[in-house]
Each structure stands twice: as C-alpha cells, then as structure tokens.
Structure 1
Amino acid sequence: MALSSLLLLCIIAYKVWHMESKPIDFVCDRDSRRDMNTEAEMKGALEDCDFLTILPSAIQLPCSKLHKASWDRKSAQEKRADLSASLAALLGSVRVARTLSPSGCVLTQLERLEHMVNNYLHIVTHLDIKGPVGSPVLSCTPQSTHSLSTVLQTLSRLLTGKLELLMADLTHVCP
C-alpha cells in the first residue's frame, strides 16, 4: 500500500511539473486536469480510515457555488482571483488540521489533500492571463466542517465548476 501511494505521488508530481513547463497543456487538455484531481481516489481511501469522519480542527470549505450570470460578467483575472482565494483559504485550514492530526490514515489523507490543493493553487496563480492581477476575494461567506468527506466533495465541485469554467474562458490560446 505504501509503495503504491509513493508511486501515485511521484506520478502526480511528474504531471504537475510537466504542466508547469507547459501551462497550455493544463488549459487545453481536460484529461490532464482530470488526472490531477485525486479526489475520487482519496474518497476511496477514506473507507480504510476508521475514525476519519471527525477531523481535529475545522477545515474551511472553498467557495464552490457560483451564480452563472455573475460569474460570466467577471473578467478572467477576477475569476482567477476568486478561485485562488478559495484554494488558498482551503490550503491554510488543511495545513492547520494536518499539524493537529495524529499519525496514520488521517494524516496521510490530509497530506495528500494539502499537496493536491497546493498544486492547483500554484497552477491557477501562474496561469498566463493578460491584464492586472486581481486581488484574491472570496465569493462566499466561508463555511467550515470537521468532515474530510465533505471537504473532498466541495473541492470536487470547485474543480468541476469554477476551474472548468475558467479554463473554458482561456481556450482561445489552444491550438
């Protein structure tokens, strides 16, 4: 199990490094983005954790809901800032929860989540979007939870919603 987790981490790290060197791949290739999203694998791994339903500290949920008409009126810079703020807030609270977690399954899943969110945040903040950099502003009043399953579900909605809509706005750079 540990060897397969290490192998998976190496594959993800390779994909993220590869995407950093070619950001157009991240924007233009939906499969690359899907491969980065390990949320489904993490949910499966939760079944192996006996007491993972309650985390040692609350995790701030990312702002995953959106009003389509309002979202469409935002510039690409504003969309990136919204997404970055949500990911940064999530990353900060996952780091706190990770430092308070005992070793074992809970800690492993929080570490995986931290790496995944950090990778997305790094990529989103370094996308080549012309214009002034929007200052990160959360588009919702943050909620929090002690359930890692709820965190994963909300993150999945963020990635399949706001992230994919932002990528759709950037497809003009695709060959």
Structure 2
Amino acid sequence: MLSPQNVIRGFCKSTNPPKYKYLISLYRSEELNIIACFTTSQDRAGIPLEEKRHGVIKNKKNEIISYVFLTDVCVGKTPEDKDFHFPLQSVIRFDYCFKEGNQAELLSNFESPVIVCKLNDKEYEDLIYAMYKSDDTPEVYKPHFEKILFKLGQKKTAI
C-alpha cells in the first residue's frame, strides 16, 4: 500500500482532533522502511493566498518552503485509472510533514486507509526535488531523495 507515489486517504486517529488525512508515500527501502508525508488543507503554504500556485512555493528569500496541490490540477490516476485532483487545496510544509517507519506502524494511525491515487511521474519528481532542495527538509532524508532523483534520471538544475 505504501509504495512510492501512492496517495493514501484515511481517518487519522493521531491528529488532534482526529480527522481524514492524506498521506503520500515517498520512499521505501529495506534499511529505512518508508518515508511518507502528510498534506494539510489549512492555509499553511507560507505565502499570501493570492500568490498561491501549483507546485513549489518559495519565500521572499527565494527559499523553498512548501509544495501546493491546487484543486484544478490533475496530479495522478486513481486505481480505476481516472484523473485525480485533491478535493481541497492541499499543502505540504517541509518543516514538519515527514513520517517514517514500517507500513504496519504508519497505517496503524489510520482507520480504513485506501489508495486514492498514484502521483504521476512529473508530480512525484517535482515534489521530491523540492524536498531535496529545501533547507527545511531534515538532512536525514536528503540522501534518500538524492537516490530517488538519481534513479529517475533527474537532471534539473533549478526550479
């Protein structure tokens, strides 16, 4: 279920208050198990609402701080091969979104988790690259993101 690029939705018992959340699986390996990140529909992109756009968000100092999924942008395919759009604008803040562990441990925080989407390759690459380049991403994850980018043949030099 928590294969890279999968987006899982379920009722998250570990939030206060408990609520439905999306979890995006980013990386899976023998040594680290799984790295995943939570999205939020709260206004936490780090820039004014009128400046929001899909993808990478930079602050006034040109530092990458978050990633926004706008509702009108298809980010992947459902298990039924239909286009998937997040129903609400969703944000990933790189300073606090990460979770890691094995699949059973991560999914134990959810009631009825389901795969709702597999991110398309471009969306996944852009997200991983932004996380890799952000100063807010914990350093422990960057070597894993670098491996992903190398494997994907990522050759971007700037966002």
TM-score (norm 1): 0.28
Relative contact order higher in (CA < 8 Å, ≥ 6 apart) = 1
Which structure: larger Rg?
Answer: 1
Q: Relative to total residues, which structure has the larger strand share, 1 or 2?
A: 2
Q: Relative to total residues, which structure has the larger helix share, 1 or 2?
A: 1
TM-score (norm 2): 0.30
